[in-house]
Amino acid sequence: MVKVKILPDKVNASEEVAQTLHDLIVEKPNAVIGVATGSTPELAYELLAEKIKEHNTDVSQLQFFALDEYIGLPWDHPESYHAVINRTVTVPLGVEPSQVHVPEAPDDATEGPVRYYDEHIEAAGGIDLQLLGIGRNGHIGFNEPGTPFDAPTHVGRLTDMTRQDNSRFFDSVDEVPPLAVTQGIGTILKSRKAILMAFGEAKADAIRDSLAQPPAEDRPGSGLQLHSDCVFYLDEAAAAKV
C-alpha cells in the first residue's frame, strides 16, 4: 500500500523524512536502514546529520545497506556508490564504515557474491526503513523497466536514459558503466517500511506511472503498490500528474 504526502517543496519533505529517520533511530538504536544514492535524498541525510549532532544521538549500533553499485568502477572512484555513500551517509552521520554495507560488484558481472547481499540483510534483522529515489523512467535502485517484482539482489543492465541521466556525474555518457548490481524489487518489498522521495517536474511521469495504474513490471516504481507500508514524499511538481 502506498500513501502519498505532497509537501510544498523539497526542503519541507526532506525535513519530514529526516525527522522520521531520527525518530526511528531514537526508538530503535540498532535499526537497519536502507540508503539510496542520487541527488534526491542528499538533503534528508544532511538534515538527519544535524539532528544527530543536536541531540547527541547514539548511532553506534545502526546498520546501513545501500541499494546498488556500478559494475566496473573502482571503489575509490568518486562516483562509485561506495564513495558516494561514504561521502553522504557514513561521514556526515558519524558512523563507522563497518556499519555501512554496499553491494559488491563482481568484476565479471556474474552473480557470484551478489546473491549473498540479501542473506546479509536478513542476518542483520531485515531492513526497518528503506529510502528510495526514482529515475525518470521509473527505475528504483537500478531496477529498470521489465525487472520482475520478485527479483532478489542481481546484476542488471542500465537503459540508455538512465546512463544519460547519470552522465551528469561523469565526464561523458561513455564513462557511465552499463551494468550495475542492485537490490531487487523483491528485496525492497521485504523492508518493513519504505519511503520514496521525488522532487521536480522531471519526475512527474514516473510518479504518475507508479501510482495511477495497477502494478506492472514495465513500471518498476509501481511495484511499491505491493509494499505493506510505503510512503511517497513528493513536492507539488513531482505530484502534478497523479
Q: Considering only residues 34, 138, 141, 223, which one is a binding residue for ligand GLP as defined by CB under 6 A?
A: 141
The DSSP H or E segment spanning 162 is helix 160-166
Nearest to 148 by CA among 177, 115, 185, 181: 185
Site for ligand GLP in 47-76 (CB under 6 A): 67-68
Among 7, 18, 32, 36, binds ligand GLP (CB under 6 A): 36
Q: Is 162 in the site for ligand GLP (CB under 6 A)?
A: yes
Binding to ligand GLP by residue 220, rule CB under 6 A?
no
Sketch the per residue contact string, 179 through 218, with ligand GLP: x for CB under 6 A, - otherwise. ----------------------------------------
Q: Where are the beta strands (DSSP E) in the chain?
A: 2-7, 32-35, 63-66, 68-70, 100-101, 129-132, 154-157, 179-182, 193-198, 230-235
Q: Residue 159: what residue type?
A: T
x/- site string to ligand GLP, residues 106 to 135, per CB under 6 A? ---------------------------xxx
Q: How far is the CB of 158 from ligand GLP (least distance, A)?
A: 8
Short-list 237, 15, 228, CA closest to 128: 228
Under rule CB under 6 A, residue 88 binds ligand GLP: no
* Closer by beta carbon to ligand GLP, 53 or else 157: 157
| Per CB under 6 A, 39 contacts ligand GLP | yes
Return the range that interacts with ligand GLP (CB under 6 A); candidates 23-31, 32-40, 49-57, 223-231.
Answer: 32-40
* Residue 38 engages ligand GLP in binding (rule: CB under 6 A): yes
- Are 2 and 225 a contacting pair, CB within 8 Å? yes
3-class DSSP state of 234: strand
Indicate which residues carry an active-site annotation.
68, 137, 139, 144
Q: How far apart are CA 227 and CA 179, in angstroms?
A: 26
For 45, left (φ over 0), alpha (ψ -120 to 50), or beta? alpha
User: What sign results for the dihedral spanned by CA atoms 199, 200, 204, 205?
Assistant: negative
- The C-alpha atoms of residue 5 and residue 20 are separated, in whole angstroms, by 13
The radius of gyration of the chain from alpha carbons, rounded to an integer in Å, stands at 17
Least distance CB 101 / ligand GLP (angstroms): 16
| Least separation in angstroms between CB 51 and ligand GLP | 21
Q: Which is nearer to ligand GLP, 44 or 58 (by Cβ)?
A: 44
Give the interface with ligand GLP as residue ranges (CB under 6 A): 36-40, 67-68, 133-135, 141-142, 162, 166
